[in-house]
Amino acid sequence: MTGRTDIQGNILRGYGSHSHAAYVFTRVTDPGAARAMLRRLLPRVASERDWVRPPPSRLNVAFTHAGLQALGAPAEPFAGYDDFRAGMDARARVQLGDLGANDPAHWDVRLTDRAHVLFIVYGHDEDTRDGEVARVRDALGAGGLDLVHLQRADVRRGAREHFGFRDGFSQPALAGVSTDRRSLRGEGVARRAWRRLLGDQWRPIRLGEFVLGHRDEDGIVPGAGHPLLRNGTFMVWRKIEQDVAAFDEWVRAWAGPEHRAQEMLRARIVGRWPHGASLVRRPPAGRGGPPRGADPDRDTAQPEINDFVYGGDADGLRCPLGAHVRRAYPRDALGFRTERTRRNRIIRRGMPYADDDPPSRGLIFVCFNASIARQFEQIQGNWLMSGDPFGLGDDRDFLTGGLDNAGDVTRLTIQGDRASPPAVVTRDRQFVTVRGGYYLFVPGLRALRMISEGG
């Protein structure tokens, strides 16, 4: 099993039919018993081979660096991955810009550095998911593992997150996986000019940008020579609480009572309309007006929904320079077509959550990448939390950026012209607060067996 069937599931292709998930964080108390439990679970761990006939539920496994050490896995393969070895809480302040209310000192203590092994359960429905969770929990005691935290998450109607925007449909087009050429539009790497003249505008991104042991965009094979790394990937898990009431109240205060004006302001903050169409493809018809030619059902059904770049909107008249999706994936906004951003893509597999005790709702952000520092931390720390790459000075992302330790004001500049004058909106409270997170390693199935056997 050396090909893609050795890669755990939900990485190269999402579990589209499994809209309910649970994240079972555990801590090793007896290494031998824990390894034996992993060996028993191995036949149930989902991989790429389960794609054709998906079972009712799926199980995947990931490890923190401390967890690999506790299980006796060799340390040498991870010697060059300082980000993974340190963990999210240790790097959050400097690399991620988590300050003030987002500082790790305020995180849920269970979501800092306590967990060793993460079992991820997916189900077609809640009962299927919860039944599988019960089976995992029943096995923990005899399996040398203690439960640290259980987090459920569920896809909402229309695949919308709690602020009301459709989410999760923009993903990298992967070489050897994304076979539909239409899916390459805007999701691959832009071809050189002479290829574009022939109608061949996009190519898929090499697998090594996301999975170790495969060639990446620089022609290098990350993780080469280490069987434990082969077909593995690094997972970022982050719990983000959304203050929906504060966001809605702020929008009404700035945009006024008219619904169209409120939708316009929301779209300019995010960079897409709630149904997913980009402001570049569906620019505003005028201040407070609807998007030109907008047809929500038609737009979201088209593969071309992601087929756009920002080169023709360098001044931000269609989509503000500081809009959330423009900062999170600048496409060609940094120059050289998409060459400067092809090495900073991530595969996202998150889900919304709604907790009862204490009541809160938000997003479980999950992404996979071959380099946490070059990919996730570059996006979060340098693009979302710093405005320098976009000529925006120290302006943080207006939607997700927290207030710093001084509790200052965050602003968004909405570029304009004579037809639609520019504006600056500000906020002095957070819409999004980080509640904790982990950096984890998701091994291939052969490597998972090695870990279960003590290295």
Flag whether pLDDT at 3 surpasses 50: yes
Instruction: Show the DSSP H helices in 204-356 as ranges.
Output: 244-255, 259-270, 296-301, 324-328
Count how many residues are written for the chain. Answer: 455
Which residues face 21 on adjacent strands?
A: 122, 153
Share above pLDDT 70 across residues of the chain, in percent, rounded to a whole number: 90
Residues 328 and 350: their CA atoms lie apart, in Å, by 15
Question: What is the band of 297 on the pLDDT scale with cuts at 50, 70, 90?
Answer: very low
Flag whether pLDDT at 197 surpasses 70: no
Flag whether pLDDT at 433 surpasses 90: yes
Flag whether pLDDT at 174 surpasses 80: yes
pLDDT in tens, 55-89: 899 999 999 999 999 999 999 999 999 999 999 99
Flag whether pLDDT at 287 surpasses 70: no
pLDDT of residue 288: 38
With a CB cutoff of 8 Å and minimum separation 6, the contacts of 245 are none
Which CA distances in Å does 367 have to 17, 137, 171? 19, 25, 11
pLDDT of residue 161: 94
Flag whether pLDDT at 202 surpasses 90: no
Query: Where do we find the tokens 């029943």?
Result: 138
Which helix (DSSP H) or strand (DSSP E) does residue 193 occupy? helix 193-197
Flag whether pLDDT at 94 surpasses 60: yes
Whole-model pTM above 0.85? yes
Question: What is the band of 1 on the pLDDT scale with cuts at 50, 70, 90?
Answer: very low
* Cβ contact 144:30 at 8 Å: yes
pLDDT in tens, 353-378: 999 988 999 999 999 999 999 999 99
pLDDT in tens, 303-329: 578 888 898 899 999 999 999 999 999
pLDDT of residue 234: 98
CA 447 from centroid of its chain's CA atoms: 24
Question: What is the band of 191 on the pLDDT scale with cuts at 50, 70, 90?
Answer: confident
pLDDT of residue 51: 67
Share above pLDDT 90 across residues of the chain, in percent, rounded to a whole number: 68
Averaged pLDDT, 398-413? 80
